[in-house]
Amino acid sequence: MTTIQHLFDNNKQWAEQTTKEDPNFFKNLSEQQSPKYLWIGCSDSRVPANELLGMQPGEVFVHRNIANQVIHTDLNCLSVIQYAVDVLKVQDIIVCGHYGCGGIGAALDNKSHGLIDNWLRHIEDVYRFHKEEMDVLTDEKERINLLCELNVIEQVANICNTTTLVNAWKNKQNTTVHGVVYNVHDGILKDLNVSTNRQ
């Protein structure tokens, strides 16, 4: 059996360092969270929401899954969106994909990956919706990167169609949904310019 003692050591050091920098940090955070942003990103370990936005704990409400998908019947993701919009009243929802996403690549490679293939079928649907545009490209990396962008745009549309967002906008709640893609090579976020607010 392995131990994770080094992680407990890291944690203790982090908590001490954080308290040293701001003695009220944990006291303030423990009283409430009021993040302005909901982040829906990929589970990929290279794309951590808070760090790449330069934000502290308490500032971003986060949901992550493979290939940052918002599936119409995924109660996990839908519950996160509902809580973020109805209770936390976040002002912005950010769907973040990343170039070179393994989930997107797996959806395109025509191989079998076990159970996860069912999850990836949704990305194959996105490919099918944009087959003409996709098939202009022959380079595999370029195809994956284009599908990373198209997938984000699709998920932005899916969020806009959730009952939560439809009702929030009907009630004049000012929530905007954004689509961005992260580049693991330089750490930069690209805005896909699909921001939507139907308030």
Nearer to Co ion, 44 or 154 (CB): 44
Structural tokens at position 95:
């769907």
Closest CA relative to residue 192, chosen from 54, 61, 99: 99
Catalytic residue, candidates 44, 96, 143, 178 = 44
Query: Are the C-beta atoms of residues 88 and 33 closer than 8 Å to each other?
Result: yes
Nearer to Co ion, 65 or 196 (CB): 65
Our answer to whether residue 160 is catalytic in this structure is no
Catalytic residue, candidates 98, 122, 143, 178 = 98
Q: Where on the chain is the footprint of Co ion (CB under 5 A)?
A: 42, 44, 101, 103
The answer to whether the annotation marks 101 as part of a ligand binding site is yes
Q: CA gyration radius for the chain?
A: 19
The answer to whether the annotation marks 122 as part of a ligand binding site is no
**What span, in angstroms and rounded, lies between the C-alpha atoms of 132 and 157?**
20
Least distance to Co ion, CB of residue 43, Å: 7
Catalytic residue, candidates 46, 72, 121, 198 = 46
DSSP 8-state symbol, 131: H
Helix (H, G, I), strand (E, B) or coil at 4: coil
Our answer to whether residue 101 is catalytic in this structure is yes
Our answer to whether residue 46 is catalytic in this structure is yes
Q: Any alpha helices (H) in 32-96, and if so which ranges?
A: 49-53, 75-82
Our answer to whether residue 44 is catalytic in this structure is yes
The answer to whether the annotation marks 42 as part of a ligand binding site is yes
Our answer to whether residue 9 is catalytic in this structure is no
- Active site residue ranges: 42, 44, 46, 98, 101
- Residue ranges for the known binding site for Zn(2+) are 42, 44, 98, 101
